[in-house]
A and B are shown apart, each in its own frame.
Chain A
Amino acid sequence: MQKSLFSFIWQFSARQQIFILCVTVFSYPITYILLELPKLIVNDAVQGDGFPRSFFGFEFDQIAYLFVLCISFLGLVVVSNGLKLFINIYKGRLGERMLRRLRFELFQRVLRFRLTHFRKVSSGEIIPMITSEVEDVGGFIGEAFALPAYQGGLLVVQLGFIFMQDPLLGLAAVSSYPIQGYIIPKLQRKVVILARKRVKNVRVIADKVGESINGIPEIHANDTAAWHSADVSDRLYENFKIRYQIFNWKYFIKFLNNFMNQLTPFFFYLIGGYLVIEGDLSIGALLAVIAAYKDLAGPWKELLAYYQMTADVGVKYQTVVENFDPADIYPVERLTSDEKVALDGDLKLSNVSFSGGVAGQEVFDVSLSIPMGQSCAVVGPDGSGRAEVLQLAAGLLSPVSGKVEIGGQDLDKLAAASLGREIAYVGGAVHIWTGTIRDNLYYGLRHRPVVPLERDGDSLKAFNRRLKEAEETRNPTYDVEAVWEDFEAAGVSDMDKLDRHALELLKAVGLESDIYRLGLQSRFDPKMDDDFAERILGVRKQLAHRIAEDKNLAGLVELWDSAQFNTSATLAENLFFAVPADPEITMDQMPDLPEVKAFLKVTGFGEKLQDIGVKIAETMVELFANISGDSGLLGTYSFITQEDLPEFERIVRIAKSNSQRPGLSEADRARLIGLAFKLVPAKHRLGVMSDDLKEEIIEARAKFQDMVVAKNDSFVAIDPEVYLPPLTIEDNLLFGRARVDRRDARRRIDEVIRSVVEETGLREPIIFAGFGYHVGVAGSRLSASQRRRLALVRALLKNAKVTILDDIAGGLTDEDKQARITLRKVLAGKSLIFGTTNPSIAGEFEHQVVLDQGRIVSNEHQDS
């Protein structure tokens, strides 16, 4: 990578820089004329004489002359400012493009780092380098050449003028430049060193903050918050110190520069004055020189600022770039090449040695050969070199000496396109990507876009622009919205088949029932798949039928019935007989929805709910007033938290008092209504629901349908014939609520749902709905074992010729044994290398290699 900022800028934007320079130079005479024209207008057109005058054969009288001059002035203003606008945007765009190129280059370099390099760098340091540290570079690039050329040019012109007036005065004018030229870089050097220090210190801070976030459970578990606080605070102080020093130097340089600039006039007045008095210089010439000198200050100041900026940005660039140039970085072709070399043949390690730099990560002179299509157990405890041998075989590590080959191809010389598609590797620590289960399942098939997305009209235009920009900045032109799944590699013809194949594998590793449960809990959009929604409605009917037939079951649920009050549901659900379209809306937010507000006002339910809210709040306050906060009773049973209790106490007091003032505020009312909304009568038994009120609520439902549901999309009516997208699939299947006043009702009704789902063959589609489940940041919503099994399915889906598994299902339990048998079955006919710490299971594989302290201690094979 270019070591210095200027070579980076020149190499990738020389043409544009020259263009900017030309436009800048071209704009100079325009600016000059623009400054001169007003003088001409005043002196010549207004106060001048000798009219009419003739120009280019045209005659102008005084008014016409004034008019022409003013029009040209206006024209020049437009041209000059237009040019400025154009060049500024041009510079900004160039800067952004160069920044994009730089950032992408840096990111691509991160991808090119060898695995071992990541022991030395942390994400906490790399991230600010790519994001914030190079930010200033973008703003600088547009100015990099034009500014010094332009301002330097101005300076030279002005200086030339002074020298023409009097060489001696000229010398006096530049007399301070050598001193400034000598001292200022010296001082600036100090600032540069400090700036480097600062950047590094900020990186350490970023790293420490990042580490604290990752290790937060440890901090809490060990009460080390104070230690971390002290540590970070110390770094912040360090940062302050450096910055303070930078300020000192920076403003000192400014001071010195200003001082020197003021010193020169001192000589002018002294020497020039002397010369005038002596009669060697005219007073007019002296005044002209002093005026010219004043004009020097502008460009000189700009140049100095530019110099400081260059030093600052340059050092930032260098401090970033030096981290992205490790000696052993992979060649870029390894990433970009799309040429897949088929890895058919035996896997052979010949005299392979590797050193991770620490004891326990070494491999000495390992030679082994695994014939194609056979399986081999690599046995050894952690630190025996087992993991390293497996990673060497996967092409993830490069041997220090020796050769790793598959079918005669040296893995070290192959591109990721071959290694990543022909070899599947699952190591001890798997990574699950933030996204859906589907994203993670098919991750191993997303090498290049396979089916381009059809675009037309505006989206095509936007896409073409995106492509053009990408080419401009040497970014990849891959379309992230295309279909990337390589169906062919997975051995299927389309997405549907791929889903089915994935399902089989999920069954094989025992993850299918987990995904089924996630599927039940997930929401799905019926617009995506009418058929599925229809089938869910079918199950709903069947369930209702079964419940109607079985008296025992009927006692366990309260089905939705528009003419019945559902005591196991909340008051809000009962009143609206609809659910908010956005499942994120909580009960507390509901009273504030405009349509709800309007409805409550029109029907007069606002008052009634408010009264209910007061009654509830009153009871809660009365019941829990003497309960200490830490007992936990309040949190479990009340709908009010301990913190809210005093607030509700106040609201109750106001509501109960007869005086009009202060009265309940709008927010208080909303809180009370929100409280009433949450009431589940069968559960809370507060005696606030009279039969009359229930009747009224049932009657009001129709009104809500007319007023709200029919008119806008924010609520979806509870309708037995319709799939309700805001509810989970499970809630859609059972069209009602399990009764809260029957013991185990939920569990018993779940069993019935499960059996109906199985009977109707809906299990599969529900699992596919579960594919859309979002696994959280880095799979945090899955258990460790689920993550491992998901990673395993991901590897198996790749359908690779060589599969390498490290420490997966290596136990002696029946479950693990079964898992190994299924794995062998799935991978029949393909090479399998199975790393394990457990020597007793090695016999299950055709070959066994036992490692100890980085050396092979036994290498056997048996005929199966």
Chain B
Amino acid sequence: MSLETEVEVLRRVPLFRGIEETKLRLLAFISDRMQYRDGERLCTQGEEGDCAFILLSGVADVLVKTPDGERKVAEVGEHSIVGEIAILCDVPRTATLIASGELDVLTVNKDDFLKLLKEFPDMSLEVMRTLALRLEATTQALAAARSANGDE
């Protein structure tokens, strides 16, 4: 797969939806393309995060530590971006990612992503907007959950 196909995928990632194609190409170029085999770890909960993952193809399991060991809580599929929180603010990984089957991933280095944002402010705006939307959704979900709890 070449840059062009990577750009196609990036375009479908919500975070990058409003961003020009040339910038996506640059993002794709500065990212590392990595392949993972079934069961290989992308990252581990609690460790320092230095990159975000964009899944080009395949599925990864999201695991969280519980007193009984790691437990699968979700799955992420094609065209999703994971670990982006870690590259925007310095927090440890909140979950573990394990490849489920063959996985093709674009790895964006934290420093490079920040440099890119600095270079293209409209890209920052887009990222901000997406994050704000996500926050809004989370807030609403929280409110819904609270009111649901209150109803009980």
Of B33-41, B69-77, B84-92, B133-141, the segment with at least 4 beta carbons within 8 Å of chain A is: B33-41
Contact of B2 among A633, A687, A741 (CB under 8 A): A687
Contact A741 B25, CB 8 Å, known A631-B119, A687-B4: no
Docked CA distance A859–B32 (Å):
66
CB distance from A826 to the nearest CB of B (A): 42
Contact A637 B1, CB 8 Å, known A685-B6, A743-B36: no
Using a CB-CB cutoff of 8 Å, which residues 618-638 of chain A contact chain B?
Answer: 619, 622-624, 626-628, 631-633, 636-637
CB distance from B52 to the nearest CB of A (A): 14
Contact A742 B35, CB 8 Å, known A633-B115, A685-B1, A687-B3: yes
Contact of A552 among B6, B37, B42, B118 (CB under 8 A): B37
24 contacts between A and B (CB under 8 A): A619-B3, A623-B26, A623-B29, A624-B26, A627-B26, A627-B119, A633-B26, A633-B30, A633-B115, A633-B119, A636-B30, A637-B30, A637-B112, A683-B32, A683-B33, A685-B3, A685-B28, A686-B2, A686-B3, A686-B29, A741-B32, A741-B33, A743-B34, A743-B40
**Interface check B22, CB cutoff 8 A:** yes
Contact of B118 among A631, A685, A742 (CB under 8 A): A631
Binding site for B on A (CB under 8 A): 552, 555, 619, 622-624, 626-628, 631-633, 636-637, 682-687, 740-743
Contact with A along B1-32 (1 / 0, CB 8 A): 11110100000000000000010011011101
Point out the residues of chain A lying under 8 angstroms from B26, CB to CB.
Answer: 623-624, 627, 633
**Interface check B127, CB cutoff 8 A:** no
Contact A741 B119, CB 8 Å, known A685-B1, A685-B6: no
Point out the residues of chain B lying under 8 angstroms from A633, CB to CB.
Answer: 26, 30, 112, 115-116, 119
Interface of B is mostly: helix
Point out the residues of chain B lying under 8 angstroms from A632, CB to CB.
Answer: 115
Nearest-CB residue, chain A, relative to B29: A623
Point out the residues of chain A lying under 8 angstroms from B37, CB to CB.
Answer: 552, 555
The 5 closest A-B pairs by CB, nearest first: A687-B2, A623-B26, A637-B30, A631-B115, A743-B34
Q: A623-B26, A627-B119, A685-B28 are in contact. List 5 more A-B contacts (CB 8 A).
A: A555-B37, A619-B29, A623-B22, A636-B30, A684-B29
Point out the residues of chain A lying under 8 angstroms from B35, CB to CB.
Answer: 555, 741-742
Docked CA distance A1–B101 (Å):
86
Binding site for A on B (CB under 8 A): 1-4, 6, 22, 25-26, 28-30, 32-37, 40, 42, 107, 112, 115-116, 118-119
Point out the residues of chain A lying under 8 angstroms from B42, CB to CB.
Answer: 743
Nearest-CB residue, chain B, relative to A633: B115
Contact of A685 among B2, B36, B107, B115 (CB under 8 A): B2
Residue of A623, A626, A683, A687 contacting most chain B CB atoms (<10 Å): A623
CB distance from A595 to the nearest CB of B (A): 32
Point out the residues of chain A lying under 8 angstroms from B40, CB to CB.
Answer: 743
Contact of A623 among B6, B25, B115 (CB under 8 A): B25
Docked CA distance A684–B107 (Å):
13
Docked CA distance A687–B40 (Å):
27
Point out the residues of chain A lying under 8 angstroms from B30, CB to CB.
Answer: 633, 636-637
Docked CA distance A741–B34 (Å):
4
Point out the residues of chain B lying under 8 angstroms from A741, CB to CB.
Answer: 32-35
Contact status A628-B119, CB under 8 Å = yes
Point out the residues of chain B lying under 8 angstroms from A555, CB to CB.
Answer: 35, 37
Nearest-CB residue, chain A, relative to B5: A687
CB distance from A620 to the nearest CB of B (A): 9
Docked CA distance A682–B33 (Å):
8
Docked CA distance A619–B29 (Å):
10
CB distance from A742 to the nearest CB of B (A): 6
CB distance from A135 to the nearest CB of B (A): 55
Residue of A622, A633, A685 contacting most chain B CB atoms (<10 Å): A685
Point out the residues of chain A lying under 8 angstroms from B112, CB to CB.
Answer: 633, 636-637
CB distance from A447 to the nearest CB of B (A): 55
Docked CA distance A687–B3 (Å):
7
Nearest-CB residue, chain B, relative to A555: B37
Docked CA distance A864–B6 (Å):
74
CB distance from B55 to the nearest CB of A (A): 14
Docked CA distance A636–B4 (Å):
21
Docked CA distance A685–B40 (Å):
23
Contact A637 B29, CB 8 Å, known A742-B35, A743-B36: yes
CB distance from A301 to the nearest CB of B (A): 75
Nearest-CB residue, chain A, relative to B106: A685
CB distance from B141 to the nearest CB of A (A): 33
CB distance from B21 to the nearest CB of A (A): 11
Point out the residues of chain A lying under 8 angstroms from B107, CB to CB.
Answer: 743
Point out the residues of chain B lying under 8 angstroms from A628, CB to CB.
Answer: 119
Point out the residues of chain A lying under 8 angstroms from B2, CB to CB.
Answer: 685-687
CB distance from B79 to the nearest CB of A (A): 18
CB distance from A813 to the nearest CB of B (A): 27
CB distance from B11 to the nearest CB of A (A): 16
Nearest-CB residue, chain B, relative to A628: B119
Docked CA distance A568–B139 (Å):
46
Nearest-CB residue, chain A, relative to B51: A743
Contact status A622-B22, CB under 8 Å = yes
Point out the residues of chain A lying under 8 angstroms from B34, CB to CB.
Answer: 741-743
CB distance from A617 to the nearest CB of B (A): 14
Nearest-CB residue, chain A, relative to B35: A741
Docked CA distance A252–B107 (Å):
80
Nearest-CB residue, chain A, relative to B112: A633
Nearest-CB residue, chain B, relative to A552: B37
Point out the residues of chain B lying under 8 angstroms from A552, CB to CB.
Answer: 37
Point out the residues of chain B lying under 8 angstroms from A623, CB to CB.
Answer: 22, 25-26, 29
Docked CA distance A684–B3 (Å):
9
CB distance from A642 to the nearest CB of B (A): 13
Point out the residues of chain A lying under 8 angstroms from B36, CB to CB.
Answer: 743
Docked CA distance A855–B119 (Å):
66
Docked CA distance A247–B64 (Å):
87
CB distance from A468 to the nearest CB of B (A): 66
Docked CA distance A636–B107 (Å):
15
Docked CA distance A743–B34 (Å):
6
CB distance from A356 to the nearest CB of B (A): 52
Point out the residues of chain B lying under 8 angstroms from A682, CB to CB.
Answer: 33
Docked CA distance A586–B116 (Å):
30
Residue of B28, B30, B116 contacting most chain A CB atoms (<10 Å): B30
CB distance from A434 to the nearest CB of B (A): 37
Residue of A624, A740, A743 contacting most chain B CB atoms (<10 Å): A743
Point out the residues of chain A lying under 8 angstroms from B3, CB to CB.
Answer: 619, 685-687
Docked CA distance A628–B40 (Å):
37
Point out the residues of chain B lying under 8 angstroms from A624, CB to CB.
Answer: 26
CB distance from A2 to the nearest CB of B (A): 68
Docked CA distance A681–B4 (Å):
14
Nearest-CB residue, chain B, relative to A688: B2
Contact A685 B119, CB 8 Å, known A622-B22, A623-B22: no
Docked CA distance A743–B35 (Å):
8
CB distance from A182 to the nearest CB of B (A): 81
Docked CA distance A637–B32 (Å):
10
Point out the residues of chain A lying under 8 angstroms from B22, CB to CB.
Answer: 622-623
Point out the residues of chain B lying under 8 angstroms from A686, CB to CB.
Answer: 2-3, 29
Docked CA distance A742–B37 (Å):
9
Docked CA distance A682–B118 (Å):
28
Nearest-CB residue, chain B, relative to A631: B115
Contact status A685-B33, CB under 8 Å = yes
Docked CA distance A742–B116 (Å):
24
Docked CA distance A626–B118 (Å):
12
Point out the residues of chain A lying under 8 angstroms from B33, CB to CB.
Answer: 682-683, 685, 741
Point out the residues of chain B lying under 8 angstroms from A627, CB to CB.
Answer: 26, 119
Nearest-CB residue, chain B, relative to A551: B37
Docked CA distance A633–B116 (Å):
8
Docked CA distance A120–B2 (Å):
67
Docked CA distance A859–B119 (Å):
69
Docked CA distance A803–B26 (Å):
62
Point out the residues of chain A lying under 8 angstroms from B1, CB to CB.
Answer: 685
Nearest-CB residue, chain B, relative to A627: B119
Docked CA distance A102–B108 (Å):
67
